[in-house]
């Protein structure tokens, strides 16, 4: 029997730790009520479960007041809430050339609708950011800086400390897209001075799809993306001002949030240091293996201190989709080919036409998984 | 029988208070903090005469009011008001 190997964790992590499946199963069977609605025991317990999740996330991300963490359905919704909640007509936004469409498209839509302008600060081919170009692109009407923490295509980490410094110096809010880093790289948003941080639950936080969140600093007042029932201030026709209710309209995905809570507790139990070390060993083994193959072109930096376990490559003579498809059909290895919803990033590394084959490693992958991938490429390429 | 009912009535209404919150998130946080301090509290639906909202409030003994107030203040849990019931 051929072993089934999953290396598409940068899209969604699979499998999840056992705790996650158990937490969701027990919530669904034993709790089941609506969080923040009604006063009966199933509703209260559901509310307690959501609070536990909020508090454990606040701890992981270095947030003092857990009500500043807003639950959303994924990083895309968090980024939309942050961008559309901050940017006003006549404004200007700065992003990097590694941003995902979940950043580019909401801003392009504001451009169409309100004439909002934006500047894309170039990154070099290895993914490193041109900080001088960033500083010189700030204008009097700049309202927001949006930067990914790590590229979802080449895995390069952005210089977060320097970005915060530039944002603070210019009195501008910085929105960090931590979709690929929350749960695998240490983050301490309040200590580091990050004002907005978007994350998703279904990648390295090991939660299920349909969970995510946004941290909003007390210094900011965002316009809500949606209005609706919050279980509070119900006699008023207007959205309440207090958090998290202001940004959490409609019944939350408490079932998913229960799983996310378990995922975060798993991470905290293992420790980020251990998680990053394991990922380092796997990533370096993969990078070394791919570098030795003469018909493989590798993208991004090989310096571990500047990256996470997301690796992009191409095999000579094959499109990225062909390579992904051969790995799937012949070797039962799941990777992702194509553009990964990030045309800007592919433009940056010169693969807009061809895309890349992307390997997303997770803490639950093994050296054997990486060896199987390397053997498969050697076999067919 | 009559005197027992009277006594029970007294212990259930007199001497109690409820803390009303803007958000159930705060009410649940308050419950957790109070329990950690071993203060006897209970989350209950907001009594009809106090609000028409669908929310919940924290029931406690009037004797514990100051302790709970200080606890909420020190832990940054904002609340709307406290009502004697």
- Determine the residue among A38, A39, A48 to mutate to test chain B binding: the one whose Cβ has the most chain B Cβ atoms within 10 Å: A39
pLDDT value at residue B45: 87
Cis amide leading into A253 (omega within 30): no
Q: How confident is the model at residue A1 (pLDDT cuts 50, 70, 90)?
A: very low
A234 vs B24: CB contact, 8 Å cut-off? no
Q: Among partner residues A44, A51, A234, which is closest to B54 by beta-carbon distance? A: A234
A51 vs B25: CB contact, 8 Å cut-off? yes
Using CA atoms, how far apart are residues A235 and A245, in angstroms rounded to an integer? 15
Q: How confident is the model at residue B14 (pLDDT cuts 50, 70, 90)?
A: low
Can you say whether residue A37 is alpha, beta or left, with left for phi > 0 and alpha for psi between -120 and 50 degrees? Answer: beta
Give the predicted TM-score (pTM) of the model: 0.93
Give ipTM to 2 decimals. 0.80
pLDDT digits (tens, 9 = 90+) for A16-67: 999 999 999 999 999 999 998 888 999 999 999 999 999 999 999 999 999 9
Please classify residue A101 by burial: count the beta carbons closer than 10 Å to its beta carbon, then call 0-12 exposed, 13-18 middle and 19+ buried. Answer: middle
The answer to whether the beta carbons of residues A65 and A216 sit under 8 Å apart is no
pLDDT digits (tens, 9 = 90+) for A87-139: 999 999 999 999 999 999 999 999 999 999 999 999 999 889 999 999 999 99
- Closest residue in chain A to residue B51, using alpha carbons only: A235
pLDDT value at residue A183: 98
- Closest residue in chain A to residue B53, using alpha carbons only: A234
The answer to whether the beta carbons of residues B58 and B24 sit under 8 Å apart is no
Q: In terms of Cα–Cα distance, which of B67, A361, A20, A362 is closest to A374? A: A361
For chain B, domains (ranges, CATH) are 14-84 (3.30.70.260)
Distance from CA of B41 to the nearest CA of A (A): 14
Q: How confident is the model at residue B12 (pLDDT cuts 50, 70, 90)?
A: very low
What tokens does B29 get?
């946080």
Using CA atoms, how far apart are residues A362 and A307, in angstroms rounded to an integer? 14
Rounded to an integer, the average pLDDT of A172-181 is: 98
* B27 chain-A contacts, CB cut-off 8 A: 47
Residue A136: CB atoms within 10 A of its CB come to 11
The answer to whether the beta carbons of residues A151 and A341 sit under 8 Å apart is no
B53 vs A234: CB contact, 8 Å cut-off? yes
User: What are the backbone angles phi and psi of residue A72, rounded to the nearest 5°?
Assistant: -135, -175
The percentage of residues in chain B with a pLDDT greater than 90, rounded to a whole number, is: 62
Residues 6+ apart with CB under 8 A from A285: A367, A370, A371
Using CA atoms, how far apart are residues A103 and A279, in angstroms rounded to an integer? 27
Range in A171-175, B66-70, B75-79 with the lowest mean pLDDT: B75-79
Q: Which residues pair with B58 in a beta bridge?
A: B19, B43
* Residues 32-51 of chain A whose Cβ lies under 8 A from any Cβ of chain B: 35-39, 44, 47-48, 50-51
Residues 6+ apart with CB under 8 A from A89: A114, A115, A116
Q: How confident is the model at residue A234 (pLDDT cuts 50, 70, 90)?
A: confident
pLDDT digits (tens, 9 = 90+) for A314-367: 999 999 999 999 999 999 999 999 999 999 999 999 999 999 999 999 999 999
Averaged confidence pLDDT in chain A:
96
What tokens does A180 get?
């690929």
User: What are the backbone angles phi and psi of residue B20, rounded to the nearest 5°?
Assistant: -100, 135
Range B39-53 burial, b when 16+ CB lie within 10 A, else e: bebebebbeeeebeb
Using CA atoms, how far apart are residues B84 and B3, in angstroms rounded to an integer? 24
Q: What is the DSSP string of A147-215?
A: EESB-TTT-BBP-HHHHHHHHHHTT--EEEE-TTTTTTS---HHHHT-SEEEEESSSTT---TT-EEEE
Using CA atoms, how far apart are residues A187 and A149, in angstroms rounded to an integer? 10
Q: How confident is the model at residue B10 (pLDDT cuts 50, 70, 90)?
A: very low
Rounded to an integer, the average pLDDT of A191-202 is: 98
The answer to whether the beta carbons of residues A99 and A344 sit under 8 Å apart is yes
B76 vs A230: CB contact, 8 Å cut-off? no
Q: How confident is the model at residue B9 (pLDDT cuts 50, 70, 90)?
A: very low
Instruction: Assign A80 to helix, strand or coil.
Output: helix
């Amino acid at each position: 029997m051929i072993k089934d190997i999953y290396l598409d964790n940068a899209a969604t992590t699979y499998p999840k730790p056992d705790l996650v499946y158990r937490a969701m199963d027990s919530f669904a069977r034993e709790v089941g009520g609506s969080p923040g609605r009604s006063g009966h025991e199933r509703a209260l317990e559901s509310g307690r479960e959501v609070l536990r999740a909020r508090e454990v996330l606040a701890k992981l991300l270095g947030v003092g007041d857990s009500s500043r963490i807003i639950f959303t359905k994924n990083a895309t919704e968090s980024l939309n809430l942050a961008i559309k909640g901050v940017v006003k007509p006549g404004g200007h936004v700065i992003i990097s050339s590694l941003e995902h469409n979940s950043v580019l498209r909401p801003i392009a839509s504001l451009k169409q609708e309100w004439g909002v302008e934006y500047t894309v600060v170039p990154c070099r081919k290895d993914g490193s950011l041109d900080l001088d170009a960033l500083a010189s692109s700030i204008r009097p009407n700049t309202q927001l800086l949006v930067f990914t923490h790590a590229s979802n295509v080449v895995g390069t980490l952005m210089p977060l400390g320097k970005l915060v410094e530039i944002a603070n110096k210019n009195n501008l809010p910085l929105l960090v897209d931590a979709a690929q880093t929350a749960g695998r790289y240490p983050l301490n948003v309040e200590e580091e001075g990050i004002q907005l941080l978007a994350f998703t639950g279904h990648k390295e936080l090991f939660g299920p799809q349909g969970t995510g969140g946004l941290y909003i600093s007390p210094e900011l007042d965002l316009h809500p993306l949606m209005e609706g029932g919050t279980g509070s201030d119900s006699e008023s026709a207007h959205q309440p001002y207090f958090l998290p209710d202001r940004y959490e309209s409609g019944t939350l995905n408490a079932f998913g949030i229960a799983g996310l809570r378990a995922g975060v507790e798993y991470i905290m139990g293992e420790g980020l240091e251990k998680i990053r070390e394991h990922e380092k060993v796997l990533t370096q083994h993969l990078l070394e293996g791919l570098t030795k193959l003469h018909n493989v072109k590798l993208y991004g930096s090989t310096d571990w201190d500047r990256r996470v376990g997301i690796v992009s490559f191409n095999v000579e003579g094959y499109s990225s989709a062909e390579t992904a498809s051969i790995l799937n059909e012949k070797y039962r290895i799941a990777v992702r080919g194509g553009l990964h919803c990030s045309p800007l990033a592919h433009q940056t590394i010169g693969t807009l036409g061809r895309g890349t084959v992307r390997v997303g490693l997770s803490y639950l992958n093994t050296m054997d998984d990486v060896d199987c991938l390397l053997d498969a490429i050697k076999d067919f390429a | 029988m009559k005197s027992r009912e009277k006594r029970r009535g007294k212990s259930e209404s007199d001497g109690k208070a409820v803390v009303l919150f803007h958000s159930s998130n705060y009410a649940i946080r308050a419950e957790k903090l109070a329990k950690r301090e071993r203060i006897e509290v209970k989350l209950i639906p907001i009594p009809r005469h106090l609000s028409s909202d669908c929310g919940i409030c924290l029931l406690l003994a009037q004797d514990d009011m100051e302790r709970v107030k200080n606890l909420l203040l020190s832990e940054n849990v904002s609340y709307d008001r406290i009502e004697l019931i």
